[in-house]
């Protein structure tokens, strides 16, 4: 009697082992054949130059002649409401020989680079108007004030610009961004009509 029981349990053990081996084999096959197929399934339709991360994730706007002629700035607005502020390519500062040589966040009543915003609720963020000064960029002979363009809380300024102002000359549209501002929905709706989108910007400034 006991012998038969041992026999039966042995056969179910071998069955389990077989099932495990089968499964392992299937998994290996999957890794070698199916997974790569899955990963590259959309490769046929790759564009030669894909849209950039900014183009894909933000709505791009421009503020032209903001408070002064040719003081053009961009406003990238994310779906979550945050706005990245920076210098548009047509900004007058880029016309100066040698480009931008230094930046200074100590404008207005405080040093904007000293702001320490903490927590999910963004405690200690300063509330600024659209015409509040963010920073001063200087060229060989001149300096220009960069402003918020959007009323809201200042979440961060681009600290890299202090040590590396040349970022503005090379990539003002990406690593050379000036600041990130969080406007209230109602304040965004108020300012939006005064901004232009990319298409209008290209027409107005005759940029390709």
Both tokens of residue 43?
């490769």
For residue 204, the minimal CB distance to other proteins (Å) is 25
For residue 174, the minimal CB distance to other proteins (Å) is 5
CA angle, residues 141, 147, 152, in degrees to nearest 5: 165
For residue 80, the minimal CB distance to other proteins (Å) is 4
For residue 203, the minimal CB distance to other proteins (Å) is 26
- Residue 45 or 141: which CB sits closer to other proteins? 45
Give the HSE-up count for residue 94: Cα atoms under 13 Å, Cβ half-sphere: 19
Residue numbers of the site for other proteins (CB under 8 A)? 27, 35, 38-40, 42-43, 46, 48-54, 57, 78, 80-82, 84, 117-120, 122, 155-156, 158, 160, 167, 174-175, 177, 180, 182
- Residue 92 or 115: which CB sits closer to other proteins? 115
Residues 207 and 74: their CA atoms lie apart, in Å, by: 14
Specify the residue for token string 């998994």: 27
Q: Is 35 left (phi over 0), alpha (psi -120 to 50) or beta?
A: alpha
């Amino acid at each position: 009697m006991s012998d038969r029981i041992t026999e039966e349990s042995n056969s179910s053990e071998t069955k389990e082992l077989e099932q495990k081996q089968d499964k392992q084999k299937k998994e290996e096959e999957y890794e070698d054949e199916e997974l790569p197929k899955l990963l590259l399934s959309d490769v046929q339709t790759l564009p030669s130059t894909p849209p950039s991360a900014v183009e894909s994730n933000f709505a791009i706007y421009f503020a032209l002649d903001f408070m002064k002629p040719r003081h053009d700035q961009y406003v990238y607005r994310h779906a979550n409401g945050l706005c990245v502020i920076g210098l548009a390519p047509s900004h007058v500062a880029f016309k100066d020989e040698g480009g931008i040589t230094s930046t200074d966040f100590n404008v207005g009543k405080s040093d904007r680079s000293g702001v320490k915003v903490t927590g999910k609720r963004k405690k200690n963020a300063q509330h600024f108007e659209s015409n509040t000064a963010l920073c001063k960029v200087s060229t060989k002979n001149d300096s220009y004030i960069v402003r918020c363009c959007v009323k809201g809380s200042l979440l961060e300024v681009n600290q890299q610009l202090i040590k590396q102002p040349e970022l503005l000359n090379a990539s003002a549209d990406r690593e050379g961004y000036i600041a990130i501002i969080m406007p209230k929905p109602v304040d965004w709706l108020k300012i939006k009509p005064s901004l232009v989108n990319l298409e209008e910007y290209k027409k107005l400034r005759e940029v390709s």
